Structure 1
């Protein structure tokens, strides 16, 4: 047995030179007699997903090396989305060791021999570690999709993740409010204002670049984009069609959609790309109103590489912290999905047709969009103040004679 039973699942690890090394080509996998066959079965499932971001998300959630699914896009570098590199994986989180395949490895359990009892024990371990119900629900759904494929191809006899979710408390009603904070239009406006004046370090020559990038990121998130969609965009995804400027977004599940660019987002993006071209001395003549089209990332690091989700998450947190009193009470809870959530709730508050909102944000089911609508609670839609007023009135009334 190798020194670290999980090393086989840690691609890119740099072990000490005096210890045994389990690389991607090594035969060891705790509890698995035929690791090459298991890897092939897993890659067969991953290959069904066209979106490289989806493959990476599933691999990370299951505890598999990102390099395995990257290989589906070619051996050199990250997987390609129509030839495009994807951002790096997110860093390790508190549930890293409890991802399914790592959990199995620590028990010398071949995942293909897992039973529903193993899956339930894993879910209970996640719960004990503080995993939120939605996190457990999402991880179980991923696991069920994987085992459904393995059952169809004969790699396993049954799907051990096809269990009663209601008894496990993993069924979430559309009537249940979303845990994401609900930002008002005024708070989103405060984020935009703060992004333009965010301090950006000691390099004067780059301050305008960083300021315009910060504003462009916030403005693009006001379009209801997922963070993975934003990081995956290239400059040639910004096109003009039917007289309108749109972003061709490569969405969840490999579904592409067109997102209309508002004047606010268009100006912020135009300012950023113009400054980026000026600093990089790469500007070339472009059609009026359309940035230079190429295969570079739409939002990039100083060196021109693709920004990661973590990069933009941290940037947004910095913007929120600088936004002043308007966001003082919620700055620590701001994340990219909060702006996507805001797009839906603000649109529904403005009486937008729910079918249009669903198409804007790429929800697979209108039930998902309805969840945002039913989750909206305001003082105008609660009886709490009426009850309090009745209690106050009763306390002031004279006692009966």
Structure 2
């Protein structure tokens, strides 16, 4: 039996196991592309699933195997399929760049165009109901749990933070009297965020309960509050405030921040900076959510509307 040709798919599959190649690719994403940890985790899961689906021979897979792999994704959402395709395209691109393969089995496969769903959001009165419920608890049931809840909610909705950014805030990230703070977002990128007066006051109250030696603003156990804990706190508060909890999450509150900012006249470039979006097309999704409000504004204020 002839030896595999150097650089061929067969040689790649024989020389390097899938798991090792995937690990090298994820290291490349972190070191050279600055990919966020969550992105690397998602890509790692997608590539491991793809490897298992082709019998642990992803490095040696050909175009026909890739086509059959995507046929097996029938029933998944378009967004999930698009993410898996992106992971595989970048993976095989890495293999080409490193000389591990000389061909790309994804090159001629038809692209999947995933429609980007509109962000789920909340009406202003729903957010106000949650803020009122958190405030009521702080008055009627004073203590660290109530103070922490108010601080979390004020920062989520008032600053548009991602859940991971919020729970990982350093203890000294927000300073008394300073209406801005620096956060580290996706890909390690830093940005400046606004801190409202209610949020400053809420954080000041909460800090009285945080040990001075804590590295985190929201400590929990040996680390910081987890995203799952934050998710549960927000949903429980929504239910108590009369807002359907299945419609609420920390990310939905971030969407509400963005949507309500647009409705109040913020421009897209400012909003892009506040949200930490690398691509303004991500920010532009909120223009569709705010369309109804904009139409009503024009109808009420445009001179021709009075005729």
Specify the TM-score bucket, using the shorter chain as the normaliser.
0.7 to 0.9
**Aligned counterparts of 2:50 and 2:81: Cα–Cα separation in 1:** 14
Map of 1:46-61 to 2, 5 A cutoff?
46-48=29-31, 54-61=36-43
Partner of 1:156: 101
Question: Is residue 212 of structure 2 the alignment partner of residue 298 of structure 1?
Answer: no
Evaluate the alpha carbon distance shift between residue 379 and residue 213 of structure 1 in structure 2; reply closer, same or farther with a 3 A threshold: closer
User: Which one is further off, 228-237 or 189-198?
Assistant: 189-198
Partner of 2:253: 339
Question: Following TM superposition, by how much is the alpha carbon of 1:39 offset from its aligned partner in structure 2, in angstroms?
Answer: 5.4
Partner of 1:364: 278
Partner of 1:237: 173
**Aligned counterparts of 1:229 and 1:165: Cα–Cα separation in 2:** 36
**Aligned counterparts of 1:352 and 1:295: Cα–Cα separation in 2:** 36
**Aligned counterparts of 2:53 and 2:14: Cα–Cα separation in 1:** 12
**Aligned counterparts of 2:14 and 2:137: Cα–Cα separation in 1:** 52
How many residue pairs get aligned? The number is 280
Question: Following TM superposition, by how much is the alpha carbon of 1:346 offset from its aligned partner in structure 2, in angstroms?
Answer: 0.7
Map of 1:80-95 to 2, 5 A cutoff?
none
**Aligned counterparts of 1:232 and 1:161: Cα–Cα separation in 2:** 38
- SS of the residue 1:217 aligns to: helix
Question: Following TM superposition, by how much is the alpha carbon of 1:236 offset from its aligned partner in structure 2, in angstroms?
Answer: 3.2
Contact 1:198 1:322 in 2 (8 A): no
Question: Is residue 82 of structure 2 the alignment partner of residue 109 of structure 1?
Answer: no
- SS of the residue 1:244 aligns to: coil
**Aligned counterparts of 1:262 and 1:268: Cα–Cα separation in 2:** 10
**Aligned counterparts of 1:132 and 1:198: Cα–Cα separation in 2:** 40
Query: Which runs of 5 or more structure 1 residues have no equivalent in the other structure?
Result: 1-30, 64-98, 284-293, 383-401
**Aligned counterparts of 1:376 and 1:177: Cα–Cα separation in 2:** 14
1:232-278 residue CA offsets vs partner (Å, 9 max, x unmatched): 221233357xx73322211112211111211122122221121x23x
**Aligned counterparts of 1:374 and 1:213: Cα–Cα separation in 2:** 33
1:142-196 residue CA offsets vs partner (Å, 9 max, x unmatched): 3333332232122233444556665x342x3xxx650x32212221121222234
Partner of 1:4: none
Contact 1:221 1:340 in 2 (8 A): yes
Evaluate the alpha carbon distance shift between residue 181 and residue 271 of structure 1 in structure 2; reply closer, same or farther with a 3 A threshold: same
Question: Following TM superposition, by how much is the alpha carbon of 1:106 offset from its aligned partner in structure 2, in angstroms?
Answer: 4.5
How high is the TM-score relative to the length of structure 2?
A: 0.77
Evaluate the alpha carbon distance shift between residue 139 and residue 295 of structure 1 in structure 2; reply closer, same or farther with a 3 A threshold: farther
- SS of the residue 2:224 aligns to: coil
Evaluate the alpha carbon distance shift between residue 337 and residue 122 of structure 1 in structure 2; reply closer, same or farther with a 3 A threshold: farther
1:49-73 residue CA offsets vs partner (Å, 9 max, x unmatched): 6868x1344224432xxxxxxxxxx
1:108-140 residue CA offsets vs partner (Å, 9 max, x unmatched): 232222345444444443442xx3322332333
**1:137 alignment partner, one of 82, 88, 93:** 82
**Aligned counterparts of 1:107 and 1:177: Cα–Cα separation in 2:** 31
**1:187 alignment partner, one of 95, 108, 126:** 126
Query: Which runs of 5 or more structure 2 residues have no equivalent in the other structure?
Result: 1-12, 297-307
**Aligned counterparts of 2:162 and 2:66: Cα–Cα separation in 1:** 29
Contact 1:244 1:260 in 2 (8 A): no
How high is the TM-score relative to the length of structure 1?
A: 0.61
Question: Is residue 265 of structure 2 the alignment partner of residue 351 of structure 1?
Answer: yes
1:283-322 residue CA offsets vs partner (Å, 9 max, x unmatched): 5xxxxxxxxxx66122222x35212211111111111111
Contact 2:34 2:187 in 1 (8 A): yes
Contact 1:234 1:296 in 2 (8 A): yes
Partner of 1:20: none
**Aligned counterparts of 2:246 and 2:190: Cα–Cα separation in 1:** 32
Contact 2:162 2:251 in 1 (8 A): yes
Evaluate the alpha carbon distance shift between residue 319 and residue 140 of structure 1 in structure 2; reply closer, same or farther with a 3 A threshold: farther
**Aligned counterparts of 2:277 and 2:269: Cα–Cα separation in 1:** 10
The CA RMSD measured in Å over matched residues stands at 3.2
1:34-56 residue CA offsets vs partner (Å, 9 max, x unmatched): 4475255234324326868x134
Map of 1:311-330 to 2, 5 A cutoff?
311-324=229-242, 327-328=243-244
Contact 1:248 1:257 in 2 (8 A): yes
Partner of 2:154: 219
Question: Which structure: greater helix fraction?
Answer: 2
